[in-house]
Amino acid sequence: MASVSLIRAEIDGATVALTWSDDYSTAYHFIWLRDNCRCESCGEPSTGRRSLKLSALDLNVEPDRIRIESESILHVTWVGGHESQFSAVWLRNQAYDDASRRARVFSPVLWDDTFRASPPIMDFRSVDSDDTAFLDMLYTVRDHGLCFLKGAMTGAGTLAPFAEKIGFIQESNFGRVQDLVVDHNKLSVGNRAIALKPHTDEPYRASPSGILLFHCIDTDLTGAGSSIFMDGFEIAETLRVEDPEGFAVLSRNRQMFRRHFADDVDLIAEFPVVSEDEFGNITGVRINDRVAAPISITPNDVPVYYRAMQRLLQLAEDEEKMIRLTLQPGDVVIFDNHRVLHGRTDLTVTGKRWLQWIQVERGDFHSTMRISEDRLHRARSNDPFLRGAYS
């Protein structure tokens, strides 16, 4: 936000209406301003020391006086004597009219043929040792959902220390670090030889796997087991253009997903296959028909739902929309599981392909990005990033 000054403040009903030097106008409800006072006695919620209790506030609180100081501070004296000060920069950044909220929505970059022909590749050692390169990698994953790293050590145990730089490692019923090798004694289909069509992981969890990292330790010399990646946002947008009605039905109805391993887990979650924000921007996808359970939706929506779901899955099988490559020892790929679909071609039963797999929570990923920006004195945003596949 470019620097703007406060020109005028006036009472308008139950709000304080502000006029800015760029001729923009915003309004803030009295109760919103009082609730967001950051004076010493009210406290700062971001550090957990807020002492102000909304439960004790008068919802009909009113200002006694308002004034602008030096075009940069709104000063409010409330009836009863409490005083609050709000900086112009903070007020503009927190404006909650529709236009301001829409402007703050993060817009990821959809993949296209140019991106698929030359996906982002960075040097692992540089990213691991240099703060600037590390932050650039985080930006790449934020913007595109995917980044490849070359030149990591090939031994087991390389991935966990690197993943911990991004965020706390999430443990699941598959463990903290999973080995993806052909092993029919394991429950995961990732340990079988059959091909895996593009999908997002663990949609049957209320909070699916967030940021996924794969590290190639060994590869099959025959080239079997090539990795596949696809932009779920791109194919969802394609569906929206082709079939707006079908897209709307997918995004407003909940699909049930289930994973049941006897005496191990029985996980069930119901969320839309495509999640949107209030402005219609796609924020996350859950695309994995292997674990799709029967839907329970209004009967009138069933035919349209199946039409749209079939088309979305057909788009997820479109080879022209895929990045397909055989990971080599020392390759690492990091991607957002709430956006990017991944899969694999057939393996050979005797092949030596070996990947290690780790997941990191998306919130920790974004926290690390902000902290990295602070360390490098970069401009940073306190706005949330994509909320993910939560509808």
Q: Looking at residue 264, what is its pLDDT?
A: 82
Q: Residue 56 above 80 pLDDT?
A: yes
Q: What is the pLDDT of residues 258-310, one digit of tens each?
A: 999 888 889 999 999 999 999 999 999 999 999 999 999 999 999 999 999 99
Close Cβ partners of 322 (under 8 Å, ≥ 6 residues apart): 116, 198, 228, 229, 230
Q: Return the sign of the alpha-carbon dihedral for residues 170, 171, 175, 176.
A: positive
**Quick one: how many helices (H) and strands (E) in the chain?**
11, 20
Mean pLDDT of the chain: 92
Half-sphere exposure of 23 (CA within 13 A, CB side): 0
**Residue range 175-179: mean pLDDT, rounded:** 88
Poorest-pLDDT segment among 43-57, 128-142, 240-254, 290-304: 43-57
Mean pLDDT of 166-189: 77
Cα–Cα dist 301/288, whole Å: 20
Which range among 68-72, 128-132, 178-182, 292-296 shows the weakest confidence by mean pLDDT?
178-182
pLDDT over threshold 80, residue 1: no
Per-residue pLDDT averaged across 366-377, rounded? 95
Q: What are the C-alpha distances in Å from 308 to residues 199, 248, 364?
A: 17, 9, 33
Cα 339–344–345 angle (5° rounding)?
145
| pTM, entire model | 0.92
Residue 386 reports pLDDT greater than 90: no
Tell me which residue of 220, 114, 191 sits closest to 356, measured CA to CA.
191
Reported as a pLDDT band with limits 50, 70 and 90, residue 225 is confident
Mean pLDDT of 228-249: 98
pLDDT tens-digit series, residues 75-102? 999 999 999 999 999 999 999 999 999 9
**352 pLDDT band (50/70/90 cuts)?**
confident
Residue 342 · residue 212 · CB < 8 Å: yes
pLDDT of residue 275: 97
How large a percentage of the chain has pLDDT more than 90? 80
Q: Is the C-alpha dihedral spanning 161, 166, 167, 171 positive or negative?
A: negative
Positive or negative: CA dihedral 230, 231, 234, 238? positive
In the chain, domain spans: 6-104, 113-375
Could you give the strand order of the β-sheet that contains 178-180, starting from the edge strand earlier in sequence?
121-123, 146-150, 332-336, 211-218, 354-360, 178-180
CATH of domain 113-375: 3.60.130.10
Q: Report the largest interatomic distance among the alpha carbons of the chain, rounded to a whole angstrom.
A: 79
Strand locations in 34-154 (E):
63-69, 73-78, 83-87, 121-123, 146-150
pLDDT of 379 strictly over 90? no
Name the residue among 350, 357, 340, 347 with its Cα closest to residue 326: 347
> Strand, helix or coil at 387?
coil
On whether the 6-104 domain is CATH 3.30.2020.30, my answer is: yes
DSSP for residue 215: E
d(CA 38, CA 263): 51
Structure tokens at 388: 């993910």
CA separation for the pair 79, 86 (Å, rounded): 17
pLDDT for 349 beyond 90 = no
Q: What is the pLDDT confidence band of residue 183, given thresholds at 50, 70 and 90?
A: low
